[in-house]
Chains A and B, each alone.
Chain A
Amino acid sequence: MADVGYNAEFETLAMPLFDSLYNFAHWLAQDRHDAEDLVQETYTKALKGFKSFQTGTNFRAWMFKILRNTFLTSRAGLSYANSMPLEPADEDQLLPLSPATPETLVITYDLGEALQQAIEALPVPFREVLLLADVEEMSYQEISETLAIPMGTVMSRLARARKAARQKLVESGYEGRKGKVAGR
């Protein structure tokens, strides 16, 4: 009976994450077919490794971690490997941003669409941390587990990712198209 329980327990835990995992996979791979392959492979690996999963630890972080590692070793992930910051010191070179950058965020109905393009244009290390924090609403602790980086790096990388997204919105000339401006 152990096995029926094993697969059923896995399904109960893993299937609620399906939509989130697919969304994240598509954001990473930026291709529907690659995303589908990623999700399927993630579930295969997770089911196989479910025995080694420690009850009481974070299952969601575990699943996202498997997906991300699968992405890193995939064809689509190869370019990412080159842009992956290895040392905290590299973070500063990833995308130079001056704290004094003048920026303007615009409130309009298609801000969402402009933001999607901005997130798409971000390097993967920024894109993934932003999505895990603000779409998946993961805690810094969970993000740290998922990405296998220290909490301090999560904090600094997330701040830089948000700045970079805002910077991209400004660069895309977004504020020029609509009139209603918030902040400065």
Chain B
Amino acid sequence: MNCEAWQTKLDAYADAELPPETMRSVAEHLSGCPACTAEMAQILQLKRVTASAGKRYTAPPELRARVRQQIAGKPARGGWRWALGLALAAVVVIGLGLAIILPSRTAARNQLIAGVVDRHVTALASASPVDVVSSDRHTVKPWFAGKLPFTFNPPDLTGSGYTLVGGRMVFVDGEPGAHLICDWRQHRISILVFQDQGDFGRLLPSADRPWRSRAFNVETWSRAGLRYFIVSDAGPEDVNTLAELWKKANS
């Protein structure tokens, strides 16, 4: 066998991935061949430097926290059995601690909704409330692609009286979301979409539910793993009409 043939085995030799007898015969060849030994030295050096240089990127701690939360907060199939056990246990605990637990849960939920309303207020106060300016839902939706770990369908607003202004990214309670803005007559309406996990899934009811928070009308519902909010100072029926359009587009 000439050196060219031996050299096809050197990488696997460096990785100790050859059968024992081939490992032995390569070692024997190396002991008497300076050219192959030099080649071997370069392969080993490259391996060594790659091992350290290849560990190049460090994940942001927020991502780790997000992934952990995701694992903890999303019971998979068969979860009802666990939930049932927990529910039975909870009945006992609630019997003792109802007076403490409920108010704190309500407070947490109100705080969460206040956080969503804050994003609407910020948008009202901002000179440039949106990062993607377009009344075309086919422009706004793709803008979020790759920025969010989920996708959604903005409804067709043609002839509805609502006008899409644009959208931007938001974070509420550590969750990334889409913030879209519509105009209705003199009113500005925010639509916010998040993954229905963490506090969203924990604190909010999945069924449609209108709220009032700091004189804003809020409607929120959950569908197919996503949590939707509509926030505006427009009347509850105007908020509801837009909510129905969104639900239809994302049913």
Contact = CB atoms under 8 A, between A and B. Distances in A.
B34 to A, nearest CB: 10
B32 interface: no
A4 B76 CA distance: 10
B76 A7 contact: yes
Contacts of A115: 46, 49-50, 53
B146 interface: yes
A123 to B, nearest CB: 16
Interface string B72-88: 10111111011101000
A45 to B, nearest CB: 11
Interface in B173-213: none
Interface string B103-120: 000000000000000000
Given A40-B66, A40-B149, A43-B70, A2 B4 contact: no
A18 B149 CA distance: 18
B12 interface: yes
A29 to B, nearest CB: 10
Contacts of B83: 3
B70 A47 contact: yes
A72 interface: no
B248 interface: no
Interface stretch (A53-61, A81-89, A104-112): A104-112
Contact of B4 (A34, A40, A99, A113): A99
Given A39-B59, A115-B53, A162-B43, A47 B77 contact: no
Given A26-B56, A134-B50, A7 B71 contact: yes
A111 to B, nearest CB: 6
Contacts of A111: 49, 53
Interface string A20-41: 0011001100001111110111
Given A7-B71, A39-B67, A40-B67, A155 B49 contact: no
Interface in B29-87: 38-39, 41-43, 45-47, 49-60, 63-64, 66-68, 70-72, 74-79, 81-83, 85
A26 B85 CA distance: 41
A175 to B, nearest CB: 12
A36 B65 CA distance: 12
Given A162-B43, A165-B50, A41 B149 contact: yes
Contact of A43 (B17, B42, B53, B71): B71
A92 to B, nearest CB: 13
A32 B58 CA distance: 10
A34 B149 CA distance: 10
Nearest to A44: B70
Nearest to B75: A3
Contacts of B79: 3
A37 B67 CA distance: 11
Given A158-B11, A162-B11, A14 B58 contact: no
25 contacts: A1-B81, A1-B82, A6-B78, A7-B71, A7-B75, A11-B72, A23-B54, A23-B56, A26-B56, A26-B57, A27-B56, A33-B146, A50-B76, A112-B49, A116-B53, A116-B56, A131-B54, A134-B47, A134-B50, A135-B51, A135-B55, A155-B11, A155-B17, A162-B11, A166-B42
Interface of A: 1-4, 6-7, 10-11, 14-15, 18-19, 22-23, 26-27, 32-37, 39-41, 43-44, 47-48, 50-51, 75, 99, 103, 105, 107, 111-113, 115-116, 119, 130-131, 133-135, 137, 139-140, 155, 158-159, 162, 165-166, 182-184
Given A6-B75, A134-B54, 19 more contacts: A3-B75, A6-B76, A7-B75, A18-B59, A19-B59, A23-B56, A26-B57, A36-B63, A39-B67, A40-B67, A103-B42, A105-B46, A112-B49, A135-B50, A140-B17, A155-B17, A162-B47, A183-B39, A183-B41
